Chain A
Amino acid sequence: MTPDIDVDNLIDNMATEIDGFTSANSIDAYQLVGIRTGGVWLASRLQEKLGRAEPIGELNINFYRDDFSQIGLHPQVEASHLPFAIDGQHIVLIDDVLLSGRTVRAAMNEIFDYGRPASIVLAVLIDLGRRDLPIKPDITGTELALVKSERVKLIGPDNLHIQIQQINPK
Chain B
Amino acid sequence: MEPSIQLTSSGRLKHFLSVYGLDNALLTEILDTADSFIEVGERNIRKVPLLRGKTVVNLFFEHSTRTRSTFELAAKRLSADVLNLDISTSATSKGESLSDMLKNLEAMASDMFVVRHSQSGAAHFIANSVTPGVAIINAGDGWHAHPTQAMLDMLTIRQKLGRFEGLKVAIVGDILHSRVARSQIRALNTLGVEEVRVIAPDTLLPQHVECLGVKVFRQMAKGLKDVDVIIMLRLQKERMEGGLLPSEQEYFRLYGLDRDKLALAKPGAIVMHPGPINRGVEISSDVADGSQSVILNQVTNGIAIRMAVMSMAMGGQNECKSAIREAAE
Interface 1/0 per residue, B25-46 and A, CB below 8 Å: 0000100110110111001110
Interface 1/0 per residue, A55-84 and B, CB below 8 Å: 000001011100011111101111111000
Is A21 at the interface (CB under 8 A from chain B)? no
Q: Which residues of B contact A64 (CB under 8 A)?
A: 48-49
Residue among A70, A72, A77, A113 having the largest count of chain B Cβ atoms under 10 Å = A72
Given A68-B50, A113-B48, A76:B318 Cβ within 8 A? no
Can you pick out 29 interface pairs between chain A and chain B where the beta carbons lie within 8 Å of each other? Answer: A60-B36, A62-B36, A63-B40, A63-B49, A64-B48, A64-B49, A68-B318, A71-B315, A71-B318, A71-B319, A71-B322, A72-B312, A72-B314, A75-B32, A75-B33, A76-B32, A76-B36, A77-B32, A79-B36, A79-B39, A79-B40, A86-B44, A112-B45, A113-B43, A113-B44, A113-B45, A113-B48, A114-B45, A115-B44
Q: Which residues of B contact A79 (CB under 8 A)?
A: 35-36, 38-40
Q: Which residues of A contact B45 (CB under 8 A)?
A: 112-114
A72 to B310, CA, bound (A): 11
By beta carbon, the residue of chain B nearest A70 is: B322
Q: Which residues of B contact A119 (CB under 8 A)?
A: none
User: Are B315 and A68 in contact (CB-based, < 8 A)?
Assistant: yes
A81 to B311, CA, bound (A): 21
User: Are B36 and A75 in contact (CB-based, < 8 A)?
Assistant: no
Identify 12 new A-B residue pairs, CB closer than 8 A, beyond the known A62-B36, A113-B45, A114-B44.
A63-B48, A63-B49, A68-B318, A70-B318, A71-B319, A71-B322, A73-B50, A79-B35, A80-B39, A81-B39, A113-B47, A114-B43
User: Are B43 and A72 in contact (CB-based, < 8 A)?
Assistant: no
User: Are B49 and A109 in contact (CB-based, < 8 A)?
Assistant: yes
A72 to B11, CA, bound (A): 13
A79 to B315, CA, bound (A): 18
Question: CB within 8 A of B318: which of A63, A69, A75, A112?
Answer: A69
Is B218 at the interface (CB under 8 A from chain A)? no
User: Are A72 and B38 in contact (CB-based, < 8 A)?
Assistant: no
Is B279 at the interface (CB under 8 A from chain A)? no
Q: Which residues of A contact B12 (CB under 8 A)?
A: 72
Q: Which residues of B contact A (CB under 8 A)?
A: 12, 29, 32-33, 35-36, 38-40, 43-45, 47-50, 311-312, 314-316, 318-319, 322
By beta carbon, the residue of chain A nearest B317 is: A72
User: Are B315 and A72 in contact (CB-based, < 8 A)?
Assistant: yes
Q: Which residues of B contact A68 (CB under 8 A)?
A: 50, 315, 318
A76 to B26, CA, bound (A): 12
The count of residues in chain A whose C-beta lies closer than 8 Å to any C-beta of chain B is 23
A114 to B39, CA, bound (A): 11
By beta carbon, the residue of chain B nearest A112 is: B45
By beta carbon, the residue of chain B nearest A113 is: B45
A79 to B318, CA, bound (A): 23
By beta carbon, the residue of chain A nearest B45 is: A113
A162 → B minimal CB distance (Å): 28
Q: Which residues of B contact A62 (CB under 8 A)?
A: 36
Q: Which residues of B contact A76 (CB under 8 A)?
A: 29, 32-33, 35-36
A168 → B minimal CB distance (Å): 17
User: Are A75 and B29 in contact (CB-based, < 8 A)?
Assistant: yes
By beta carbon, the residue of chain B nearest A63 is: B48
A32 to B12, CA, bound (A): 35
Q: Which of A22-81 contact B (CB under 8 A)?
A: 60, 62-64, 68-73, 75-81
A68 to B29, CA, bound (A): 17
B315 → A minimal CB distance (Å): 3
Interface 1/0 per residue, A83-125 and B, CB below 8 Å: 0001000000000000000000000010011110000000000
User: Are A78 and B43 in contact (CB-based, < 8 A)?
Assistant: no
A78 to B35, CA, bound (A): 8
B59 → A minimal CB distance (Å): 23
Q: Which residues of A contact B312 (CB under 8 A)?
A: 72-73
A132 to B85, CA, bound (A): 42
Q: Which residues of A contact B43 (CB under 8 A)?
A: 113-114
Q: Which residues of A contact B48 (CB under 8 A)?
A: 63-64, 113
A86 to B45, CA, bound (A): 12
A98 → B minimal CB distance (Å): 22
Q: Which residues of B contact A78 (CB under 8 A)?
A: 36
Question: CB within 8 A of B319: which of A72, A86, A114?
Answer: A72
Residue among A70, A76, A114 having the largest count of chain B Cβ atoms under 10 Å = A76
Given A113-B45, A114-B44, A114-B45, A72:B39 Cβ within 8 A? no
